[in-house]
Amino acid sequence: MKTVTPVTAAICLAVLSSHSFADSNSTVVEQNGIGNSALSDQSDATVNFSQVIQSQTGDGNQVAAEQYTNVTTAVVTQTQIGNGNLATSEQYNSATNVQLTQFQSGDANTVMSIQVGNLSDSSLTVQQVGNMNLVDNNVQGLGGTTASTMTINQQGDMNTVGPSFALQQQAVNSTLVATQIGQMNQMDVNQNFVISDSTMIGIQDGVGNIAALDQIGSVSFLLMELLQLGNDNMALMEQEFTVENSTMIVDQFGDMNMSTLDQGNAFFTSATVLQAGDSNDVNIDQANITMGVASISQTGTSNVHVTSQAGTAETAIATQSGVSNTGTILQ
């Protein structure tokens, strides 16, 4: 067993690089100061039961952790408190029961995380508290994701999940949850390619938020659910290409919100939208579907909905309560 524990307190610049090359290794990095950089590398073929803990307090810090090949029961924990921080983590190849946790408190933080290659019973968690935070290119899978969880929590203004994506690929019995509290938030989350028995949940509380949720490619027994609280929010939901026994749900509470839901090449699927407020808009498009159901409920004034279905044995249900509301159903 090896234990490497570099500790640095730097005012200007400190660079730490720690390498561990045996089973049951532990690397701990602590940095206090401005402009610090830390790299922890556990990439030998025998990496098992390993742990990386990185903590930075100060401005302009960068931190990176790498665990490669036969990563089993491994942990990466990164904590950054300060402005202008960047955190990246990579766990590659045969990752089983691994945990990756990243916490940032401060302005203009960025997180990029990867867990790929026959991933099972694992978790990826990002929490950001502050303004101008970014989570980009967070990936689980690219070789299979089983019984794993990706959780993203952002609290503050101008938070973004994207602009590329947060992705679970080839997911089975897995969950992706993204929560944003604040204004002008954006999320782009995806589950794709041979997905089954998995769930995607988005929650946004604020004004002017945009959420894009996608489940694409041979998907079955899936749940996609989005909750938006506030005004001027936009929901874009898509389930496409051989979708079976899957559900899309959008709940929006506020005014001038918009929902667009698309399901294509689908069997025994449903799309449901609930809106409470004024001047809201819903558009549901179900193309080439069999036994599909579209359900819309709107409460308020001057709301609009359009439902379009093309297929066999489809059902559309629309309920509006209030005045000056309009609706169209095309079958």
* pLDDT, tens only, 95-144: 778 899 999 998 888 999 988 877 888 899 999 998 888 998 788 877 77
Residue 15 pLDDT greater than 60, yes or no = no
For residue 317, the tally of other CB atoms under 10 A from its CB is 12
pLDDT tens across 178-190, in order?
999 987 789 999 9
Per-residue pLDDT band at 6 (split at 50, 70, 90): very low
**Each residue's pLDDT tens digit, 305-329:** 999 999 999 999 999 999 999 999 9
Higher-scoring residue by pLDDT: 194, 146: 146
Predicted confidence at residue 164, as pLDDT, reads 63
324 in Cβ contact with 302 (< 8 Å):
yes
CA–CA gap between residue 317 and residue 40 (Å, rounded):
55
State how far the alpha carbon of 70 is from the alpha carbons of 41, 42, 225, in Å: 14, 11, 34
Higher-pLDDT residue of 298, 207: 298
Please determine, for residue 251, whether its predicted confidence score (pLDDT) is greater than 90.
yes
- Calculate what percentage of the chain has a pLDDT beyond 70: 90
User: Mean of the pLDDT values across residues 146-161?
Assistant: 90
State the DSSP code for 144.
-
Q: What is the pLDDT of residue 4?
A: 41
For range 230-257, the mean pLDDT: 94
Beta-bridged to residue 34, according to DSSP, are none
Mean of the per-residue pLDDT values for the chain? 87
- What is the amino acid identity at position 204? Q
Tokens of 113: 């995380």
